[in-house]
């Protein structure tokens, strides 16, 4: 099995794919794209928009970041959840029963809902500025994120979301938990997982998996969580 993945040079939506690859022991070749500040304001990414994207668009009209290329078949997959579920099937991380697969899919969807709410705070597109960010982030942590965490806490059926071993949804969930823990620490706030023992246990257990230690000690885990214009990187 040989795969290529493309994404910005941040953790973002690629982190779950990187962790899935490491856990499964299947290397993925990566193309990382960089945002460049433009004179007069704004951002550009010529290596993606002018170079790589047009060629990939010929194979998949929906192409966006992240994408995965299955080099054996030539198939190009885009949209983050489609990438997670595609590699999840290839790596055996989508559960072994209908119930487990449904739990994986629900976890992925809820994690994406949580991420969407987080993005409203960390990026400036909804009017959050560096000055208003600390208060908005604190509100997100105490209210919005707590609502999502309560759902996950009630949903977990074992160590992970679909059983005793991690599946595709857990890697996206873990990334969201980790980013929220980091956000709180940067603001000198307590961990948002203090009131959620099951989530805290999941966060700890996955972080300690032997298969992931090379990832956690390597450069990709040390990348910024978000892109250059974000209030929280």
- Residue 94 per-residue DSSP state: S
Does the pLDDT at position 42 exceed 90? no
pLDDT at 41 over 90: no
Report the CATH number at residue 7. 3.40.30.10
pLDDT given at position 169: 99
Instruction: Work out how many domains the chain is built from and give that number.
Output: 2
pLDDT at 50 over 90: yes
pLDDT, position 157: 87
Q: Which range of residues forms the domain containing residue 119?
A: 98-209
Per-residue pLDDT at 34: 96
Residues 98-113 pLDDT 10s: 999 999 999 999 999 9
pTM more than 0.85: yes
In a domain, 215, yes or no: no
Instruction: Provide the 10 A C-beta neighbour count for residue 191.
Output: 16
Q: How high is the pLDDT of residue 139?
A: 98
CA atoms within 13 A on the CB side of 144: 18
CATH number for the domain spanning 110: value is: 1.20.1050.10
Band of residue 215 on the pLDDT scale cut at 50, 70, 90: very high
What value does the mean pLDDT take over residues 199-217? 99
- Predicted local confidence at residue 124, as pLDDT: 95
Q: Return the C-alpha torsion angle 170, 213, 77, 107, nearest 10.
A: 0
Is 154 exposed, middle or buried (CB count within 10 Å of its CB: 0-12, 13-18, 19+)?
A: exposed
pLDDT of the residue at 96: 97
Domain match, 66 and 107 both: no
14 and 105 co-located in one domain: no
For 130-182, the pLDDT digits (tens) are 999 999 999 999 999 999 999 999 999 899 999 999 999 999 999 999 999 99
C-alpha neighbours within 13 Å on the C-beta side of residue 112:
15
């Amino acid at each position: 099995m040989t795969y290529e993945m493309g994404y910005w040079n941040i953790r973002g939506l690629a982190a779950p794919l990187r962790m899935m690859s490491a856990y499964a022991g299947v290397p993925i070749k990566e193309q990382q794209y960089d945002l460049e500040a433009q004179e007069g304001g704004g951002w550009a990414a010529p290596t993606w928009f002018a170079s790589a994207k047009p060629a990939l668009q010929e194979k998949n009209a929906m192409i966006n970041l992240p994408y995965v290329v299955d080099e054996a078949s030539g198939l190009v997959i885009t949209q983050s959840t489609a990438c997670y579920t595609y590699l999840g099937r290839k790596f055996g991380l989508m559960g072994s029963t209908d119930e487990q697969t449904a739990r994986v899919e629900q976890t992925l969807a809820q994690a994406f809902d949580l991420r969407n709410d987080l993005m409203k705070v960390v990026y400036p597109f909804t009017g959050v500025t560096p000055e208003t960010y600390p208060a908005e982030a604190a509100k997100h942590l105490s209210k919005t994120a707590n609502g999502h965490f309560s759902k996950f806490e009630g949903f977990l059926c074992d160590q992970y979301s679909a059983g005793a071993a991690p599946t595709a949804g857990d890697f996206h969930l873990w990334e969201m938990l980790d980013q929220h823990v980091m956000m709180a620490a940067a603001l000198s706030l307590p961990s948002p997982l203090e009131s959620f023992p099951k989530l805290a246990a999941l966060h700890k257990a996955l972080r300690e998996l032997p298969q992931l230690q090379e990832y956690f000690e390597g450069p990709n885990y040390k990348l910024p969580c978000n892109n250059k214009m974000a209030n929280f990187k």
